[in-house]
Structure 1
Amino acid sequence: MKRTLIALAVAGAAVATGVNAGELYNQDGTTLTLGGRAEARMSIKDGDVLDKSRVRINVSGKQEISDDLYGVGFYEAEYTTSDRDEDGNENDDSSSIEHRYAYAGLGGNFGEITYGKNDAALGVITDFTDIMDYHGAKASDKLNSADRIDNLLAYKGDFNDLSVKAAYRFADRDESYDSIDDNDADAFSLSGIYTVADTGLAIGLGYADEDDKANQWMLTASYTWNDLYVSALYSAADLDNTDNDYDGFELAASYKMEKTVFYVTYNNGQVDDGHISSTVSDEFADSDNLAFEVAYFFKPNFRGYVSYDFNMLDDDEVGNAAAEDEAVLGLRYDF
């Protein structure tokens, strides 16, 4: 999922366009770049195949306003062509488009402030263990308002070895015939990542709150030594609006051997409601899985990978489909 491997400990400081974006225009302080990926993904469960291929395209613009101020705009869409969704159900339309990002803002020595659809503050924390091309990241569920979401005012800044993010998600407005009101769902999220200089160690902490109805915090750490990367994450959520709590932890490691990268992750998350099959809204669900992946980089921007997920949930509790192992074959081209 990430364009580089060893830099995952400070992934939150990276710009969304990635290292392979191509410059389309650069004149008079205006820069326009195009980036994205094309990814063929074959998912195999119990011998049956589902096409999960996708294409992402993004456009990024930057305008120098003065020596200390610039304007920025970013848009990214994801296209899928399968006539079935992630659960294998038929879609009404044979193609699907998701508008992943759409924001604009101002930046300078103070950092960058944006408004629109963007990442809130917890994504940079879950990036520590979300290192595989396909599997993993099963126990790092986030409150919706702390993930990628619209109506978001976001700030990010770097201060020597410390990177910080702060985001405020405004409640959606409802305009009925005789009144204008909102859904009382204001939310905020905060995070910080500290990289200990010359040690390979990075530590991250994040917190999110949804209008005093639910809150979540995360703690993560990573260590990089030459071509070896290891990380761990713990997540806890107090879901007062559903009378459920959530605890999850993830362990992840990768090792680079020339053009081949080996990955392994273990995820375990549980909703504390007395039975393992529960799902809290669409945000939190139980998980217990061990995943392995091997990726071969033909070129820095073109890779092939094989990923396998050992699902250890009890099918008597969650159903056979939710407890099935999954193998994925993929080819990915970044541009």
Structure 2
Amino acid sequence: MNKTLIALAVSAAALATGANASEIYNQDGNSIAMGGRAEARLSLKDGKAEDKTRVRLNFLGKAQITDGLYGVGFYEGEFNTNDDGRATDTDANDLTNRYAYAGLGGAFGEITYGKNDGALGVITDFTDIMAYHGNSAAYKIAVADRSDNMISYKGQFADLGVKASYRFADRLEAANGDLSDNDADGYSLSAIYALGESGVKLGAGYADGNQAFESVKDSGNYDVLLDRSQYMLAASYTINDFYFAGTFVDGQDKDKANGEKIDNTGYEFAAAYTYNQAVFTTTYNYLEAKDKTSGQKADAVDNIAIDATYYFKPNFRGYVSYNFNLLSADDKNVDGHKIGKADSEDELALGLRYDF
């Protein structure tokens, strides 16, 4: 049981379809599997409660074209149930289309197009192991995260896993019929190598692309286009019922309008221990931002998180997770504004999760 649980404790490194997907159709080389989760989550900050309950549902279809070639299609949606005190079943309940892609696969790997993961998610998965908190420092830029209009490749060759993705800029059509794009393109690359049966894995990745952010000034809302790049290094070690990992990230955001640059440097450390049907995890997350023009530095992320998860069954668990926020309300971010109370509070989360 312990080896199964330690694998579940780091389940973020698994495929998006999940370990509990059930096959609902299989005939003539075509199969459909359904999976997902129902997760009741209560968040408490400064004694104030917020409902974070969610449901995910996904479908994976495969068609065997030849002995060495198959077609694949995948969709996953997430529903949030929080009504915020309004009438039941209002439009506050949002559906997020997390994944929607199709492609071809075989011994060469798998190539897909649509909304899919970029290449750096498998690197942040080294330390993104907690039931609720954690993974707040090893950020991913948009083209390296889950994104639409993306062509992706992944392949596993013995102990080496590789991923690559390219996001196209989105077409814009002017009133006069001219065509242009929003310049929001970019790419990401990563590789993970397992050192045989030693329990050691090493990972590295790089991403570069443009990303638009909505900003607000006295004149109103406007978009800021940033040229963003980053690289990540990660390592993990598994021995018996223990898991240890670390991730380092370094990146730069450059405002394409005025040339202002912000450097972001951070790291995460994670550990997990399995005891019978319980898994105990902890992470430390730190991210520093530095304005290259003014030289101003600020802590963007600084926290320690702990949680305990009990697996009643491999597909049903309960957990308690606590985040010790080491930032203070009076601390200033890199642009000189105070962080404020809401972003400096500790958080307690309680949850029950059923995977299907």
* TM-score normalised according to structure 1 size: 0.91
Output the CA distance in 2 between the equivalents of 1:94 and 1:10: 30
Tell me the CA shift for residue 126 of structure 1: 0.2
Tell me the CA shift for residue 7 of structure 1: 7.1
Matched, 1:196 2:195: yes
Output the CA distance in 2 between the equivalents of 1:98 and 1:294: 28
Partner residue in 2 for 1:323: 344
Tell me the CA shift for residue 240 of structure 1: 2.2
CA displacement, residues 108-136 of structure 1 (integer Å, 9 cap, x when unaligned): 01000000000000000000000001000
Output the CA distance in 1 between the equivalents of 2:272 and 2:190: 24
Output the CA distance in 2 between the equivalents of 1:156 and 1:7: 22
Output the CA distance in 1 between the equivalents of 2:230 and 2:8: 26
Task: Name whichever of 36-45 and 169-178 sits farther off.
Answer: 169-178
CA displacement, residues 228-284 of structure 1 (integer Å, 9 cap, x when unaligned): 00000000002122410100100000000010000000000111132537xxxxxxx
Partner residue in 1 for 2:55: 55
Output the CA distance in 2 between the equivalents of 1:186 and 1:4: 39
Partner residue in 2 for 1:313: 327
Q: Any idea what SS the aligned residue of 1:198 has?
A: coil
Matched, 1:293 2:307: yes
Output the CA distance in 2 between the equivalents of 1:104 and 1:17: 14
1:19-34 correspondence runs (5 A): 19-34=19-34
Output the CA distance in 2 between the equivalents of 1:152 and 1:124: 17
Q: Any idea what SS the aligned residue of 1:213 has?
A: strand
Output the CA distance in 2 between the equivalents of 1:39 and 1:9: 17
Matched, 1:245 2:263: yes
Kindly indicate whether the alpha-carbon contact (under 8 Å) linking 1:10 and 1:193 is maintained by their aligned counterparts in 2.
no
- Tell me: CA distance 1:120–1:8, structure 2 relative to 1, closer, same or farther (3 Å): farther
Of 283, 286, 303, 1:265 maps to 283
- Tell me: CA distance 1:132–1:117, structure 2 relative to 1, closer, same or farther (3 Å): same
- Tell me: CA distance 1:4–1:120, structure 2 relative to 1, closer, same or farther (3 Å): farther
Count of residues in Structure 1 that have an aligned counterpart in Structure 2 = 319
**RMSD (Å), alpha carbons:** 1.9
Kindly indicate whether the alpha-carbon contact (under 8 Å) linking 1:5 and 1:131 is maintained by their aligned counterparts in 2.
no
Q: Any idea what SS the aligned residue of 2:203 has?
A: strand
Partner residue in 1 for 2:185: 186
Output the CA distance in 2 between the equivalents of 1:276 and 1:324: 17
**Identical aligned residues as a percent:** 54
Partner residue in 2 for 1:282: none
Structure 1 consecutive aligned stretches of length 4 or more whose deviation exceeds 2 Å: 3-12, 211-214
Partner residue in 2 for 1:154: 152
Task: Name whichever of 310-319 and 233-242 sits farther off.
Answer: 233-242
Output the CA distance in 2 between the equivalents of 1:93 and 1:270: 38
Output the CA distance in 1 between the equivalents of 2:108 and 2:166: 18
Letter in 2 for 1:219: L
Of 222, 233, 236, 1:219 maps to 233
Kindly indicate whether the alpha-carbon contact (under 8 Å) linking 1:250 and 1:268 is maintained by their aligned counterparts in 2.
yes
Matched, 1:102 2:100: yes
Kindly indicate whether the alpha-carbon contact (under 8 Å) linking 2:169 and 2:182 is maintained by their aligned counterparts in 1.
yes
Partner residue in 2 for 1:89: none
Tell me the CA shift for residue 15 of structure 1: 2.7
Output the CA distance in 2 between the equivalents of 1:76 and 1:84: 25
Higher CA-based Rg: 2
* TM-score normalised according to structure 2 size: 0.86
Kindly indicate whether the alpha-carbon contact (under 8 Å) linking 1:6 and 1:229 is maintained by their aligned counterparts in 2.
no
CA displacement, residues 44-102 of structure 1 (integer Å, 9 cap, x when unaligned): 111111100000000110000000100000000000011349xxxxxx83211100000
Partner residue in 2 for 1:281: none
